[in-house]
Structures are given as structure tokens and as C-alpha cells.
Amino acid sequence: MISIDGVGVFLGLDIGKQTHHGHGLTPGGKTVLDKPLPNSETKLRAVFDKLTAKFGTVLVVVDQPASIGALPLTVARDAGCQVAYLPGLAMRRIADLYPGEAKTDAKDAVVIADAARTMPHTLRDHLDLADEITAELTMLVGFDQDLAGEANRTSNRIRGLLTQFHPSLERVLGPRLDHQAVTWLLERYGSPQALRKAGRRKLAEVVRPRAPRMAERLVDDIFTALDEQTVTVPGTGTLDVIVPSLAKSLAAVHEQRRALEARIEALLEAHPLSPVLTSMPGIGVRTAAVLLTTVGDGSSFPSAGHLASYAGLAPATRQSGTSIHGEHAPRGGNRQLKRAMFLSAFAALHDPASRTYYDRCRARGKTHTQALLRLARHRISVLFAMLRDGTFYEPRTPRTA
């Protein structure tokens, strides 16, 4: 928990694009500032310097530490202020305790400042751990996730069209859309008629340079699928226009992601914690980057339980009389970190120790997803110890389920 001893002013900033609304409170609850602040370094620095000169230590708390909130945080640090972050979910729950249903920038700033003054346990202070490498990784990881979402949307659109007009062909090409050879093939032959017209020999010739080992099998599967459907669904001719365009866009997104991965990997090599993170089974370049941008060196978390709670992997107890009992997965937490830990747990199933733990969970009646969440929670404890001690992953001899 953040220590507020010695803080002279709690300055809550409701972040905006053009202006931020600031509300300053003394430890006794007296308002010393309540006005919009332009999103410029000169204006922000003047306010921070004035408050520091009059009241001493200033704690600047924001509700948006990234993107549009980056400048006020940077200026506040440079001006010698302490900085903290009030998560959006906590802010909205706290705001419900205040009278009135209106939601304004001024009210939100009051909520942020008063929460920092009276409930410092709701704040996050790991914003101070950001360095140049972490800042670059944060931007690149965010862009990579946007591209991943775009790739999923485009891929789903292609699969939807193929399913509509030729389901058998979709079952062959749909699962392989991540392969360069398949997207290249669909750029040139986007419909069942175009593929059949090209012929086996031509398709094998164009696919082989990009996928030598699967060229013959892919072509055989394509023509087997084409032979399974003899009727032509009305509108199939439009695939020659739509699918090649979508396939070209998908190939471009995949190329961008490969270039980003190389850039992310180069930045990771310069970070001292990179070898520690990647020594753990299931953690690759992208997952390690997410961990560095969300967890840092782990020093902001007193224990593995706190880190698990932040990731949304610590079960929450629910009890009400005799009707509700048990522990349930929490709905909150950092979704980006939770997803990274879940996917890394799935990727780590080839590791004997992880697989044994997963099998034990399944033997106790857990579903696949529940077992993976349990494994992710277990790996959080291991990850916390690795970051705390700066040690590499050491596999243990797996016990029999």
C-alpha cells in the first residue's frame, strides 16, 4: 500500500484529451485547487510547482496512466511530485458512494483525490518503475495486440465467406490461414472455381516455394474438398473480388507482426529481466514483453497472492447464509496479464512439471479451462519468486498424479 505520510496535497486528475480537471485536497479534506488544467507541460508544471512550494509533498493521482495520461505523469515526476494510479473499476465503485447520479470531470477529480486521501490501499504505485525500454515495449505490445485483433477479424471474415459458399474448402484452408503460403494462394485464387481452374499441377508449383513440405498434401486436400461439393451457391462469384483483398490485408498484418516481434525481441535482449522470464516454460517473446509492461520487476507487490489478485487469478470467496458457498474466479484484475498467464500456461503443457499439475487438477474433476487457470495461478507464485530473487526457472521432479 502507498504511504501517504508527509503528503501535503492530494491532487486528483481526471484525464482528458485537451484538458485535465484537477482537484486538490489537504490531508484534512480542505479544497485548495479545483479547475481545468490544459494538457501542456508549461501549464501543468506551473500548477505542480505552486502546490509544492506552498504545501510540500504533492501526490498526483490519475485515472488513466497511459496514452493521454502520459504527459501529466511525466511532468509530475520531473517536478518532484509523487504519482499514483487509481484503477477505473475501483474509481467507479468509489464514485457510487457519493451523492448524485451526475458524472462530470469535476466530480471524478474529487473522487480520485478523496480516494487517495482516505483509501490509499486502492492506489497503484508501480508507475514509478517505467524506464525507456519498458515505455517502448508498452507501445509496441499495444500495437501488436491491435494487429492481432485485426488479424483475427480478417481471418474470421475469410472463414465466414468460405463457410457460406463452400464449407468443405473452409475446413481445409480456414485452420491454415496463418501460413504465408495459404494467404498467398488466396490472394491469387480466391474462389472454388479459380482453384479448380488453376489445376493441381499449377497450385503445387506456386505453393511449393513457400511451403515445400506441405505443398502436395495441401493441394490434395483442396481438391478433395472441391470434389465434395457439386452445386454452386448463388453469389459464389463475388469471392474472386472479396477473398483476394482480405487475404492481401491478412498477409500484410502478419508481416507487420513479424517485424514487430523482431523489434520487441531486440528490446527484450537489452532488459536484465528478459533471461529470467524466458527461462520459464511457455513464456516467449510476446508474453515476456507483456509481463515486463504489466508487472515490471514485481517489487510493487508484497507477495505472490497480491500479484495473483492483480492478475485476476486469485479465487474470491463468496458466502451468504446457507445458499452460497465456495470460491469463484474474480471478474476484475488486469485482463492483459491474466490472458498472458493463461496462454503461457497452455503453452507450458509440454513441460513435465506443468503437465503433471494440470493432470492432477483434471483428476480432481476440473474442466480444461479451470485446470489451466489453476496452473496459471500456480505459475504466478513461481514467477513472483523468480522476479523477487532474480533467479532462473528451476524445474522440479514431477510427482505422479
pLDDT at 394: 85
Cα separation, 137 vs 264, in Å, equals 7
pLDDT at 5: 86
399 domain residue, yes or no: no
Contacts from 167-171 at CB under 8 Å and sequence distance 24+?
167/229, 168/225, 168/226, 168/228, 168/229, 169/195, 169/222, 169/225, 169/226, 169/229, 171/225
pLDDT at 126: 54
Nearest residue to 15 (alpha-carbon basis) of 55, 62, 67: 62
pLDDT at 329: 63
349 and 259 housed in the same domain = no
Please give the residue range of the domain that contains residue 244: 137-266
Return phi, psi of residue 61, to 5°.
-120, 130
- Domain end (from 246, 266, 286): 266
- Domain end (from 202, 236, 266): 266
Cell of 232: 454452386
55 domain residue, yes or no: yes
Cα separation, 312 vs 337, in Å, equals 8
Domain count along the chain? 3
Cα separation, 59 vs 116, in Å, equals 8
112 and 34 housed in the same domain = yes
Report residues of the chain scoring pLDDT below 70: 1, 125-131, 316-332, 396-401
283 and 358 housed in the same domain = yes
395 domain residue, yes or no: no
Given a contact cutoff of 8 angstroms between Cβ atoms, the answer to whether 127 and 83 are in contact is: yes
pTM for this one? 0.70
Q: Collapse the DSSP code of 84 into the 3-class scheme (helix H, G, I; strand E, B; otherwise coil) and give the result.
A: strand
244 domain residue, yes or no: yes
216 and 195 housed in the same domain = yes
pLDDT at 299: 79
